[in-house]
Amino acid sequence: MSARNTIILAAGKGTRMKSKLYKVLHRICGKSMVDHVLTQVSKLNMDNIVTVVGFGAEDVEKELGNRTKYVVQNQQLGTGDAVLRAEDLLKNSDGTTLVISGDTPLFKAKTLEKLFAYHADKQATATILTSVAPNPTGYGRIVRNDLGIVEKIVEEKDASSEERNIKEINTGVYVFNNQKLFKALHEINNDNAQGEYYLTDAIEILKRKGGIIAAYQMDDFDESMGVNNRVAQAAATKVMQRRINEYHMNNGVTIVNPDDTYIDVDIEIGPDTIIEPGVQLQKGTKIGRDCVIGANSKITGSIIHDGVTVTSSTIEDSEMMDGSNIGPNSHLRPQSLIGKYVHIGNFCEVKKATIGEGTKIGHLTYVGNATLGKDINVGCGVIFANYDGKNKHETKVGDDVFIGSNANLIAPLEIADHSFIAAGSTITDDIHQYDMAIARERQTNKPNYYQKLPFNGAD
């Protein structure tokens, strides 16, 4: 079986993005555009994948790692010149080579597989992946003769008014006979409006030499969407988001309003989970079965186990065990581990803390750098004071502890099992098992004080 190669074109700067970020690194649903392309290509069992980089080369290599080889196009001289940069790595291959752009994040592996199959079936020298565009502005047009055979590809800036009316467009994806591709690239010139070396000119050269030029027309134009500006990025994101949401719904997840639900790629969600409007599930998140993720919650890089309810809250790089719940309007900051059946109420914040099974943290409480045992009651307005201005300190709380409202726990601190902290106390010393700690000044009442005020409410 002949070798399969891919060349990903990712050297363009992308000035129309108006961004300091290299174009192909802009993200669609949690993954860079060029990573989307590489992910789909990698499903095709490629022998060689080469990414052509230019501007921002180091950032692209950091993003993609060793999943691909790299070559550099130092000057932006066009797509033909970019593909030629890969010659040294691929010139000895006798197989076929896919050429695809790094700013086309919506292509699916199965579409690319069909392109390879069509190319082989037609015994073609080059096969163009085409589509019918509702609005072909900005795309190269496919010019066919009366028999439907491809005559040429014409770029919009070089097209006549008649050619611009053609709706079948070049998606910028091709499969070539590898050896013949590089021979043709050495014969192209830059005699065009842009002064660039067009890869499409190599197709004309191959045709003149008697090569078979085929064109496979794909069904879904949306896949071919290229991203050159923020408007196109938003449109591509919408298409990807629809795909993702439909995938989860087809696997037993209820998404109340898919148009207002934002789920990144590679998110896992168990069946019978309900996702309410405005939810954002971001990269690295896993959601179990029978959960309810309430409206406008945002979960990033976290693991949510079965039967968890998240009500209008934010969770970052944390974990919630079975049957726990949080919110509304609470926040789990990184490295928080919430045990089974824990209740975290409204307006609470937890950071780098472990909360034991069955513990209840009602509302308006901050827990930072702490380990809490099982079945603890944490009252309203409790503060775990973990920072002394220079260092963070730990607080450890045992099982079955009662912490009264408005208590301040000044770390470092150890609070033993079955102890009791009176409301309004500021605790600075360790508490032993079965003890009650009270740390507040005794109340003093001043008789008749109100009547001595300059204004006491009397007429």
How far apart, in whole angstroms, are the C-alpha atoms of residue 170 and residue 167?
A: 10
Which residues make up each annotated binding site?
A: 9-12, 23, 73, 78-79, 101-103, 140, 155, 170, 228, 333, 351, 366, 377, 386-387, 405, 423, 440
Instruction: Evaluate whether 361 touches 348 at the Cβ level (below 8 Å).
Output: yes
Q: What is the pLDDT of residue 145?
A: 87
Q: What is the pLDDT of residue 51?
A: 98
Nearest 5°: the CA angle 202, 206, 211 is 150
How far apart, in whole angstroms, are the C-alpha atoms of residue 23 and residue 14?
A: 5
Find the largest Cα–Cα distance for the chain: 110
Sign of CA dihedral 131, 132, 133, 139: positive
Distance of CA 250 to the CA centre of its chain: 21
pTM of the model: 0.91
How far apart, in whole angstroms, are the C-alpha atoms of residue 402 and residue 415?
A: 10
Superfamily of chain region 3-224:
Spore Coat Polysaccharide Biosynthesis Protein SpsA; Chain A (3.90.550.10)
**Fold matches, 3-224 and 311-437:** no
How far apart, in whole angstroms, are the C-alpha atoms of residue 50 and residue 4?
A: 12
Tokens of 265: 């790629």
The burial class, CB within 10 Å (0-12 / 13-18 / 19+), for 315 is buried
How far apart, in whole angstroms, are the C-alpha atoms of residue 340 and residue 385?
A: 25
Distance of CA 297 to the CA centre of its chain: 16
Instruction: Evaluate whether 281 touches 267 at the Cβ level (below 8 Å).
Output: yes
C-alpha torsion angle, residues 113, 115, 117, 123 (rounded to 10): -150
Bond from prior residue into 328 cis (ω within 30 degrees of 0): yes
How far apart, in whole angstroms, are the C-alpha atoms of residue 191 and residue 423?
A: 83
The phi and psi torsions of 335 (rounded to 5 degrees) equal 70, 35
Return the active site residues.
363
Selection from 155, 157, 202, 204 nearest residue 178 by Cα: 202
The burial class, CB within 10 Å (0-12 / 13-18 / 19+), for 190 is middle
Tokens of 328: 């509304």
Q: What is the pLDDT of residue 453?
A: 85
Q: What is the CA radius of gyration of the chain?
A: 31
Helices then strands, counting H and E runs in the chain, come out as 9, 39
Q: What is the pLDDT of residue 1?
A: 58
Q: What is the pLDDT of residue 357?
A: 98
Q: What is the pLDDT of residue 457?
A: 57
Selection from 95, 109, 171 nearest residue 140 by Cα: 171
Which residues make up each annotated binding site for acetyl-CoA?
A: 386-387, 405, 423, 440
Going from the C-alpha of 34 to that of each of 96, 101, 113, the distances in angstroms are 21, 8, 19
Q: What is the pLDDT of residue 301?
A: 98
* Partners of residue 304 on adjacent β-strands: 287, 320
Fold of the 311-437 domain: UDP N-Acetylglucosamine Acyltransferase; domain 1 (2.160.10)
3-state SS of 69-117? Answer: EEEECCCCCCHHHHHHCCHHHHCCCCCEEEEEECCCCCCCHHHHHHHHH
Tokens of 331: 């926040």
Please tell me the total number of residues recorded for the chain in this structure: 459
How far apart, in whole angstroms, are the C-alpha atoms of residue 359 and residue 373?
A: 7
* Partners of residue 96 on adjacent β-strands: 4, 177
- What residue segments make up the domains of the chain, in order of their start? 3-224, 311-437
Going from the C-alpha of 25 to that of each of 8, 105, 171, 239, 454, the distances in angstroms are 13, 11, 20, 18, 69
Tokens of 370: 């702490």
pLDDT tens, residue order, the chain (459 aa):
589 999 999 998 888 889 989 999 999 999 999 999 999 999 999 999 999 999 889 999 999 999 999 999 998 899 999 999 999 999 888 899 999 999 999 999 999 999 999 999 999 999 999 999 988 888 889 998 887 888 888 888 888 989 999 999 999 999 999 999 999 999 999 887 778 898 988 998 999 999 999 999 998 999 999 899 999 999 999 999 999 999 999 999 999 999 999 999 999 999 999 999 999 999 999 999 999 999 999 999 999 999 999 999 999 999 999 999 999 999 999 999 999 999 999 999 999 999 999 999 989 999 999 999 999 999 999 999 999 999 999 999 999 999 999 999 999 999 999 999 999 999 999 999 999 999 998 889 999 988 888 876 554
Nearest 5°: the CA angle 251, 255, 256 is 150
Q: What is the pLDDT of residue 119?
A: 96
How far apart, in whole angstroms, are the C-alpha atoms of residue 67 and residue 37?
A: 12
Which residues make up each annotated binding site for UDP-N-acetyl-alpha-D-glucosamine?
A: 9-12, 23, 73, 78-79, 101-103, 140, 155, 170, 228, 333, 351, 366, 377
